[in-house]
Amino acid sequence: MALTLTVHQFDVDSTGKQVYVAGVVTASGNYTTGGDTLDLSTQSFIPSAQLPKQVALFTQTGQVYNYAFIQGAALNSCKVKIYAAGGSELGAGAYPAGITSDVIAFSAVYPKLQ
């Protein structure tokens, strides 16, 4: 189990109330049935301590996998569920090369700390 987020860009909207974040999620190790944990609490430079309002995950290399973000109760308990072609969840075990070599784009909107 290892999903890591690398943030490449973030910006605050003109009202100063929302933060837009863009980055890449990298997979290594093993997938866990029901979704692998994506710890968002490690991104200390994002000016929000709250859960994101909206998250999108998608392949940038045309792989056949689909990624679904599952909101956790806290920043460190969010998950990503992965589906193979045909819509079945990826089985538990080592990530296939199609996922470890994928560029998994991450886009999120956070409420800004006031």
- CATH number, domain of 74, equals 2.60.40.3940
What is the per-residue pLDDT for 45? Answer: 67
Per the structure, the complete domain to which residue 36 belongs is given by 3-111
What is the per-residue pLDDT for 97? Answer: 94
CA angle, corner 99, sides to 21 and 66, nearest 5?
65
pTM above 0.75, yes or no: yes
Q: Provide the residue-wise pLDDT of the chain in tens; the chain has 114 residues.
A: 589 999 988 888 888 788 899 999 999 999 999 999 999 988 776 767 789 999 999 999 988 999 999 999 999 999 999 999 889 999 999 999 999 999 999 999 998 775
Q: Rounded CA gap, 113 and 110, in Å?
A: 9
Q: How many domains does the chain have?
A: 1
